[in-house]
């Protein structure tokens, strides 16, 4: 593609949008950047060296004012935006930022998607991939824009990318050589509109795979399992609950790889050797192990990497034990399925801090788990009323309302006794009170540590 003076409109001036602008500038394109926020509300935009004619901030411009040949969409920007829809209706190509990042990158691409477990699996796979000795980049939805990381990578290198449904909506030729789909439960329905549309976005990770590529699928998730026969690529299943004659599963308290045709069973590692807690993390481990084998590691090398992996920040992260109370930061639990899995990973009595901004999810099934697992439920944020009603409908006994996040943490600490676990696992996004789940999780850790530094 000849990029010289090609008119490209980047929508969204966050990290992904800025990375896209920089890449397009390096390619020689004429770049326009738009965002609903004003310049003073944005960080880093002034460093992009765009003049006023190319920096369209504070409102949505008219398409005819730009006449772009290509639109690059940041993942946080809804495709329903009038500017995007007008572009589509006029035949303008629309790419996601990850499509732009990878269009000229010859590296082997390993991609991870799914409703829950993406970041843990991506981080783990990235650590395993580095053990190959090949140049490795870990980026994408994990918080580091791909466009800023992959320039200059060669064929003998690896890109490990966390790919969200938002990012996958507008890929074109992006080829994911090793693609993982972990699971599929209702999420982001406020954007996608239905579970079917959400699934369709996720499955685009397999769009450009060939017969030589690998798809790694969760056998235990019927929506995911049923994709196997429809794909062009080789398929490998994993399951922590059913023994698989072909794939990765459990056999007599060992994670094993089995190949029916060769009549082989290779022990990989015992779950007791892992530092990750919870049955759901077995899914993440199995998927990452399968991908790492495809990247060239031996099972011995994979097992050693699995033993050393401690998990990721804000996902069932151990903050510490204070006065015999364990504090767990699961701020990344932004939907009911993720929060449910976090609750099920602990046997101790739980004090749960939940709430935030709902993403169109129903809370009743989640509250059935809360009723069984949680001794005290502290609710806050925009969804607190909705969550309280669902909790009362399902028979949750101890419900406490908090006026602020700080108030919620203090009330949770007051509820806890020695031997209990205080967990932040909101089952909601952070966007009513915070810029990100990371900011929410950091404040939780700070408040806990500050509380126990001060004299009681």
Query: Model confidence over 24-60: pLDDT tens digits?
Result: 999 999 999 999 999 999 989 989 989 988 999 998 8
Question: Which band of pLDDT confidence, cut at 50, 70 and 90, is reported for residue 187?
Answer: low
Neighbours of 294 (CB within 10 A): 17
Give the pLDDT confidence score for residue 456 in this predicted structure.
Answer: 41
Tokens of 259: 């190949």
Task: Give the pLDDT confidence of 302-317 residue by residue, as tens digits.
Answer: 999 999 998 888 988 9
Question: Which band of pLDDT confidence, cut at 50, 70 and 90, is reported for residue 280?
Answer: confident
Q: Is the pLDDT of residue 250 over 90?
A: yes
Domain ranges of the chain: 7-91, 99-308, 317-453
Give the pLDDT confidence score for residue 278 in this predicted structure.
Answer: 80
Residue 299's alpha-carbon distances to 288, 347, 404, in angstroms, are 12, 31, 48
- Rounded Cα gap, residues 325 and 413, in angstroms: 9
Shared fold status for 7-91 and 317-453: no
Give the pLDDT confidence score for residue 455 in this predicted structure.
Answer: 46
99-308: what fold? 3.40.1190
CATH 3.40.50.720 fits 7-91, yes or no: yes
- Rounded Cα gap, residues 56 and 39, in angstroms: 9
Tokens of 156: 């003998």
Place of tokens 């935009």: 45
Give the pLDDT confidence score for residue 106 in this predicted structure.
Answer: 95
Task: Give the pLDDT confidence of 99-148 residue by residue, as tens digits.
Answer: 999 998 999 999 999 988 899 999 999 999 999 999 999 999 888 999 98
CATH 1.10.1530.10 fits 317-453, yes or no: no
User: Which of the two residues, 66 and 196, has the higher pLDDT score?
Assistant: 66
- pTM as predicted: 0.79
For the residues 160-184, what does the mean pLDDT come to? 95
Tell me if 116 sits within 8 A of 183, measured CB to CB: yes
């Amino acid at each position: 593609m000849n990029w010289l003076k090609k008119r490209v409109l980047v929508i969204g001036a966050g990290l992904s949008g800025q990375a896209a602008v920089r890449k397009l500038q390096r390619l020689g394109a004429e770049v326009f950047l738009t965002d609903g926020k004003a310049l003073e509300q944005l960080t880093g935009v002034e460093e992009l060296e765009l003049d006023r004619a190319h920096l369209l901030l504070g409102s949505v411009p008219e398409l005819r004012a730009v006449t772009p040949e290509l639109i690059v969409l940041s993942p946080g920007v809804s495709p329903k935006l009038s500017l995007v829809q007008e572009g589509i209706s006029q035949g303008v190509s629309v790419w996601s930022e990850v499509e732009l990042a990878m269009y000229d990158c010859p590296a082997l691409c390993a991609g991870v998607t799914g409703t829950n477990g993406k970041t843990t699996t991506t981080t783990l796979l990235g650590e395993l991939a580095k053990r190959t000795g090949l140049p490795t980049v870990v980026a994408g939805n994990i918080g580091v824009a791909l466009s800023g990381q992959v320039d200059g990578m060669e064929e003998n290198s690896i890109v490990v990318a966390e790919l969200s449904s938002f990012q996958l909506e507008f890929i074109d030729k992006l080829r994911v050589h090793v693609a993982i789909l972990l699971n599929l439960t209702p999420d982001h329905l406020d954007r996608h509109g239905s579970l079917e549309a959400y699934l369709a976005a996720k499955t685009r990770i397999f769009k450009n795979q060939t017969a030589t590529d690998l798809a790694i699928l969760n056998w235990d998730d019927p929506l995911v399992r049923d994709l196997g026969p429809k794909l062009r690529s080789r398929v490998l299943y994993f399951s922590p609950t059913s023994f698989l004659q072909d794939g990765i599963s459990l056999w007599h308290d060992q994670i094993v790889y089995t190949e029916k045709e060769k009549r082989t069973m290779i022990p990989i590692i015992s779950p007791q050797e892992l530092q990750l807690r919870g049955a759901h993390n077995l899914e993440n481990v199995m998927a990452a192990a399968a991908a790492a084998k495809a990247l060239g590691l031996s099972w011995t090398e994979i097992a050693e990497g699995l033993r050393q992996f401690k998990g990721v920040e804000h996902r069932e992260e151990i903050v510490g034990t204070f006065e015999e109370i364990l504090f767990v930061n699961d701020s990344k639990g932004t939907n009911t399925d993720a929060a449910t899995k976090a609750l099920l990973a602990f046997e101790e009595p739980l004090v749960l801090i939940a709430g935030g901004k709902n993403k169109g999810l129903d809370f009743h099934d989640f509250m059935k788990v809360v009723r069984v697992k949680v001794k005290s439920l502290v609710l806050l944020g925009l969804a607190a009323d909705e969550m309280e009603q669902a909790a009362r409908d399902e028979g949750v006994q101890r419900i406490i309302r908090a006026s602020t996040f700080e108030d919620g943490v203090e009330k949770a600490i007051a509820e806890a006794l020695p031997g209990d676990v205080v967990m932040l696992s909101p089952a909601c996004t952070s966007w009513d009170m915070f810029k990100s789940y990371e900011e929410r999780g950091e404040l939780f850790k700070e408040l806990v540590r500050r509380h126990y530094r001060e004299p009681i």
